[in-house]
């Protein structure tokens, strides 16, 4: 059994010649044009077209890139979790794949003789956990997860590989208990170690010093979470992966404030934590195209670090010149921009309907600044949406500055609030400096 690292969360798990391609992202400019690979891509989608299966963990573009999937043969079976909500299924169907296999929680699927896969719900289908992480209300909970992410547990011969994808350890505690009961140890765990959010780089009320301090705090927090996975599952080896990207376009200056460390920093960062926690697991770092053979207990080549100066030069000279979708295909010139109050009022009705379903309301407000000379006030109760002048915000509030054309994309459902945030396209100012989780969750439903 061996695992080949391609890019970010894209890996190939192979046993006796049967290959499973996981979460293919092999193009540039996802999240509406802001996310890019570094080192630059040396693979194309066509280079991995000989696989026997494709596994997709969830709907985020760095795990389910439509452009990559569009260039892969449509007769390859696609394996996904049997989610309650069928967003992922519908997207893959729309791309023309002929065979999509939904695998229920804790159901074992045979890939070939001696090679099996379980696609596990991140929350272990536990309504108490699900509710905490914004899935379903505890009443009316079904047997299927309303989370959007999954873990993949591969077992081939004498070896077990766990792909944790983007699942937070706090969310996956129950499913880790299940895995630990089933296997005394995991031979290789593919574990995320970074946070792909807009915080702190997109928060304008933070000073430069505060952004750097928060960047380091969040970095440590996510490295700790990775170590929790490794320790809980008694992993013999771990491969840090996923969330490996740099920002392009006019957002390139934000890279220095993002919390994810670069791969060449990981040996130093993990060594300190592993020593502190007395974890004996061995870290495997792979360059693109290299693999780790579990039977032989060796990697194909030693990891070679990227050159930081070359990376900064590439970002500055190449990626900074890239354009976003709302600056090209969906650009609306200033003379055609209109008042969006009625459209936002209609969107607000839909958002309030979803809030009512979950029993949520709040005094917090969101103010949208699209550089039109005023703000749109979005309340998180049934008060009406209205226009207000600058500096007339009422606490507590979050002001979000975004491009007018991007807001139109969101309202037209050609873009999504969550993906715009992950892509660092939104600039936040909040007062007080507190995180009201419901505001960010239900904002996702503000669209027409």
Q: Are 446 and 400 in contact (CB under 8 A)?
A: no
Answer yes or no: do 141 and 235 share one domain.
Answer: yes
Strands 109-112 and 291-293 turn out to be unpaired
> pLDDT tens digits, the chain, 448 residues: what are they?
999 999 999 999 999 999 999 999 999 999 999 999 999 999 999 999 999 999 999 999 999 999 999 999 999 999 999 998 899 999 999 999 999 999 999 999 999 999 999 999 988 776 566 555 544 443 344 556 556 799 999 999 999 999 999 998 998 989 999 999 999 999 999 999 998 899 999 999 999 999 999 999 999 999 999 999 999 999 999 999 999 999 999 999 999 999 999 999 999 999 999 999 999 999 999 999 999 999 999 999 999 999 999 999 999 999 999 999 999 999 999 999 999 999 999 999 999 999 998 899 999 999 999 999 999 999 999 999 999 999 999 999 999 999 999 999 999 999 999 999 999 999 999 999 999 999 999 999 999 9
Cβ neighbours of residue 92 under 8 Å, at least 6 residues apart?
56, 64, 69, 78, 80, 100
Answer yes or no: do 379 and 313 share one domain.
Answer: no
Query: CA separation (Å) from 94 to 89, 292, 392, 419?
Result: 9, 34, 45, 20
Alpha-carbon span 64 to 66, nearest angstrom? 6
Domain of 421, CATH number, reads: 3.30.1050
Residue 328 lies in a domain: no
Query: CA separation (Å) from 154 to 1, 14, 117, 162?
Result: 10, 10, 5, 6
Residue 238 lies in a domain: yes
- Among 300, 321, 342, the domain boundary falls at 321
Q: What is the DSSP string of 263-288?
A: GGGHHHHHHHHHHHHT--PEE----T
Where in the sequence is the domain holding 397, given as residue range(s)? 334-443
Residue 329 lies in a domain: no
Q: What is the pLDDT of residue 140?
A: 45
Answer yes or no: do 344 and 314 share one domain.
Answer: no
Alpha-carbon span 43 to 10, nearest angstrom? 11
Residue 75 lies in a domain: yes
Answer yes or no: do 115 and 261 share one domain.
Answer: yes
Tokens 């020593």 sit on residue? 275
Alpha-carbon span 331 to 436, nearest angstrom? 32
Q: What is the pLDDT of residue 127?
A: 58
Answer yes or no: do 306 and 341 share one domain.
Answer: no
Answer yes or no: do 34 and 106 share one domain.
Answer: yes
- Among 270, 299, 321, the domain boundary falls at 321
Cβ neighbours of residue 253 under 8 Å, at least 6 residues apart?
none
User: What is the SS3 assignment for 307?
Assistant: coil
Q: What is the pLDDT of residue 136?
A: 44
Q: What is the pLDDT of residue 130?
A: 54
Q: Are 319 and 251 in contact (CB under 8 A)?
A: no
Structure tokens that stand for 198 in this block: 């807009």
Alpha-carbon span 220 to 212, nearest angstrom? 12
Alpha-carbon span 258 to 38, nearest angstrom? 15
Residue 170 lies in a domain: yes
Domain of 13, CATH number, reads: 3.60.15.10
Answer yes or no: do 365 and 317 share one domain.
Answer: no
pLDDT in tens, 337-361: 999 999 999 999 999 999 998 899 9
Number of domains present in the structure of the chain: 2
Answer yes or no: do 197 and 247 share one domain.
Answer: yes
Residue 169 lies in a domain: yes
Q: What is the pLDDT of residue 84?
A: 86
Q: What is the pLDDT of residue 139?
A: 39
pLDDT in tens, 285-318: 999 999 999 999 999 999 999 999 999 999 999 9
Side-chain half-sphere CA neighbours of 174 within 13 A? 15
Residue 408 lies in a domain: yes
Answer yes or no: do 55 and 167 share one domain.
Answer: yes
Answer yes or no: do 206 and 293 share one domain.
Answer: yes
Residue 388 lies in a domain: yes
């Amino acid at each position: 059994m061996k695992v080949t690292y391609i890019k970010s969360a894209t890996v190939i798990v192979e046993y006796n010649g049967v290959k499973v391609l996981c979460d293919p992202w092999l193009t540039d400019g996802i999240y509406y044009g802001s996310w890019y690979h570094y080192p630059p891509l040396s693979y194309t989608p066509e280079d991995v077209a000989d696989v026997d299966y494709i596994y997709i963990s969830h709907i985020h573009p760095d795990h389910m890139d439509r452009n990559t999937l569009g260039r892969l043969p449509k007769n390859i079976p696609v394996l996904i979790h049997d989610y309650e909500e069928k967003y992922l299924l519908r997207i893959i169907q729309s791309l023309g794949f002929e065979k999509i296999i939904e695998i229920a929680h804790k159901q074992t699927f045979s890939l070939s003789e001696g090679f099996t896969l379980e696609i596990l719900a991140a929350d272990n289908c536990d309504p108490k956990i699900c509710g905490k992480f914004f899935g379903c209300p505890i009443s009316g909970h079904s047997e299927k997860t309303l989370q959007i992410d999954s873990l993949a547990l591969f077992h081939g011969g004498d070896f077990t590989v766990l792909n944790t994808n983007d699942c937070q350890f706090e969310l996956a505690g129950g499913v880790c208990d299940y895995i630990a009961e089933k296997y005394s140890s995991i031979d290789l765990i593919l574990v995320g170690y970074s946070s792909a959010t807009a915080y702190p780089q997109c928060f304008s009320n933070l000073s430069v010093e505060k952004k750097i301090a928060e960047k380091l705090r969040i970095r440590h927090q996510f490295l700790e979470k990775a170590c929790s996975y490794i320790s809980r599952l008694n992993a013999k080896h771990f491969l840090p992966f996923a969330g490996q990207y740099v920002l392009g376009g006019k957002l390139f200056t934000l890279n220095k404030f993002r919390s994810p460390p670069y791969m060449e920093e990981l040996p130093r960062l993990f060594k300190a934590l592993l020593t502190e926690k007395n974890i004996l697991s061995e870290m495997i770092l792979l360059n693109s195209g290299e693999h780790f053979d579990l039977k032989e207990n060796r990697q194909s080549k030693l990891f070679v670090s990227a050159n930081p100066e070359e990376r900064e030069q590439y970002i500055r000279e190449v990626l900074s010149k890239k354009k976003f979708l709302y600056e090209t295909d969906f650009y609306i010139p200033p003379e055609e921009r209109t008042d969006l109050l009625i459209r936002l009022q209609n969107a607000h009705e839909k958002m309030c309907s979803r809030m009512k379903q979950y029993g949520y309301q709040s005094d917090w407000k969101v103010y949208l600044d699209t550089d039109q000379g005023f703000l749109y006030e979005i309340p998180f109760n049934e008060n009406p949406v209205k226009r207000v002048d600058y500096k007339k915000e009422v606490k507590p509030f979050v002001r979000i500055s975004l491009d007018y054309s991007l807001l139109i994309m969101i309202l037209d459902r050609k873009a999504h609030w969550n993906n715009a945030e992950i892509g660092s396209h939104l600039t936040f100012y909040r007062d007080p400096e507190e995180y009201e989780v419901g505001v960010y969750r239900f904002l996702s439903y503000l669209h027409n």
